[in-house]
Chains A and B, each alone.
Chain A
Amino acid sequence: MIEFQDVTIIYNGRPVMDRVSFTAQFHEKIAILGSSGAGKTTILKLIVGLDQPDSGRILIDGTDISALTEAELRDIRMNFSIVFQEGALFDSLSVRDNVAFCLWEREKAPEEVIESTVKSLLNRVGIEDAMYLMPDQLSGGMQRRVAIARSLAGCRPRMMLYDEPTSGLDPLTDATICDLINELSSGDPTKRTGLIIVTHDVPDAIKVAERFMYLRNGRIQFDGGLETLKSTQDAELIKFIKDIL
């Protein structure tokens, strides 16, 4: 279970997160909505220990990760796979080496296992032909798919974290990425790989998530299911979700 307890982050004297508290199960499918700069990406980075809160606690399965060292965080991070906005592929490595990175680093897998795993993952995301290309030779959609393939390599995440995975994509590629996200988090609702997606694209959030949080001024202004979201009385939130009303 993931627990945020009064998490506050202050940047340049301004609270980016102001006493944020929530709990989430690993199998949940959650969308965190909010405008740019609302602190959505920061939540993902806090979950995997890439950022530290100024105050408050973040518990992963009961362990407070706020004070852990990088070495201690390694085991916590095994629970998650993260796909950053625009993929965050290592631009000095080929697609094959990007996907294989986790297999080298975490699993120390032999070359033949790496080769077959990479092929199968790229096949799964539909870009096996791009195996030996460099990231700058890929389109935006292909980069996201490689990033998703990489996030699945060599680890069995209990939860996927997506940072604006569809921003800047054409509608067709957007739909393909959403289908892929759904496929990866399908199965028994109590055992499946869960997901947290941060986005300002409400229609996409509805395609993949079941629980919605709305972040504004560093605080969670809304937390609930789709029907509750649609019936909200919050004027700001109504403006934000007008595309689905």
Chain B
Amino acid sequence: MTLQKLLAELQNFYILSISSILGIFRRSLKWRDVLEQMDYAGSGSFFIVFLVSLFIGMALSLQISTELAPLGLKMYTAKIVGISIIREIGPVAIALSYAGRVGSGMASELGSMILSHQVDMLRVYGADPMIRLVTPRVLSSAVMLPILTAIGDAISLAGGYYIAVAVSHQSGAFYWSQIGNELNFHNILSGLTKPFIFGYLIACISCTVGLSTRGGAQGLRRATTTAVVLSTIMIIVVDFLLTQVLFFILGMRA
């Protein structure tokens, strides 16, 4: 990719990111489109979020209790599982699953609409593709990913509870009391801010890539792959940056 093309792509991403937000305030936004996208992104992703979260929670609880048991510290399992899941692993793992399912779907759907001239037809009929296609997707992602993350966190913690009680023979009541202590403002803010930003960025990346699809089936494959790869890298990098920013805002120190 030449520097000129790269800059053009970045400019498209920047314009789309801003326009998609401004689109929320336009009267031509169809809320039915937003609800349809929320249904696809939210309810459609529930099963994958359930599986990913459950097994991550169980694996994490197993690892931590196994390491802490010889030190006589396994009562801290819930605390460590709680912090890891709520602040870090939950938002990142669910965002990665979401990018794989919903982000790739957005890129391929929009790419297919470009290749079959459906986006051209929207423009011919005076409908703004930004309002009809992009804003509903961006809005639904920014709303649904935090909700999915909250649900996923709860499932992970339940998975961790099962391992802590059934395998590590800890007290269930103590596990939940430790988790309860971690459900404070700082952790919840951190755990829900990240998926909100991730959802917004995954949708913006996927829509930008989808709408710039060229070159038939091969171009569609390239667009879908690019959307998932860029979203994955973005999630990891932005997670680190957001952690730094949130630590600074909340006055927490390493």
Contacts and interface: CB of A to CB of B under 8 A. Distances in A.
A45 B120 contact: yes
A105 interface: yes
Interface in B51-96: none
A138 interface: no
Contacts of A106: 125-126
A91 interface: yes
Nearest to A150: B121
A105 B116 contact: no
B117 interface: yes
Contacts of A80: 124
A90 interface: yes
Contacts of B117: 84-85, 88
A54 B24 CA distance: 33
A102 B127 CA distance: 9
Contacts of B123: 50, 70
B125 A88 contact: no
B118 interface: yes
Contacts of B127: 101, 105
A50 B120 contact: yes
A106 B122 CA distance: 11
A82 interface: yes
Contacts of B239: none
A74 B125 CA distance: 8
A77 B124 contact: yes
A70 B118 contact: no
Interface string A166-191: 00000000000000000000000000
A86 interface: yes
A48 interface: yes
B11 to A, nearest CB: 16
A70 B128 contact: yes
Q: Could you say which interface size class chain A belongs to?
A: 10 to 19
Contacts of B121: 82, 84, 88, 90
Contacts of B120: 45, 50, 82, 84, 88
Interface string B100-121: 0000000000000000111011
A189 to B, nearest CB: 26
A145 to B, nearest CB: 16
Contacts of A85: 117
B126 A74 contact: yes
A127 B241 CA distance: 57
Nearest to A86: B116
A82 B124 contact: yes
Interface string A83-122: 0111011110000000001100110000000000000000
Q: Which of B120, B121, B124 has the most CB of A within 10 A?
A: B124
Contact of A91 (B118, B124, B125): B118
Nearest to A49: B123
B63 to A, nearest CB: 44
A101 B125 CA distance: 8
B125 A105 contact: yes
B53 to A, nearest CB: 30
A50 B117 CA distance: 10
A84 to B, nearest CB: 4
Interface string B123-138: 1111110000000000
A50 B125 CA distance: 12
Contacts of A101: 125, 127
A48 B117 CA distance: 13
A3 to B, nearest CB: 20
B23 to A, nearest CB: 14
Contacts of B124: 48, 50, 77, 80, 82
A106 B120 CA distance: 15
A102 B126 CA distance: 9
Nearest to B120: A50
A84 B121 CA distance: 9
15 contacts: A45-B120, A50-B124, A77-B126, A82-B121, A84-B116, A84-B121, A88-B116, A88-B117, A88-B121, A90-B118, A90-B121, A91-B118, A101-B127, A102-B125, A106-B125
Return the 7 tightest CB-CB contacts between A and B, nearest first: A88-B117, A84-B117, A74-B126, A105-B125, A88-B121, A105-B127, A50-B120
Interface of A: 45, 48, 50, 70, 74, 77, 80, 82, 84-86, 88-91, 101-102, 105-106
Interface of B: 116-118, 120-121, 123-128
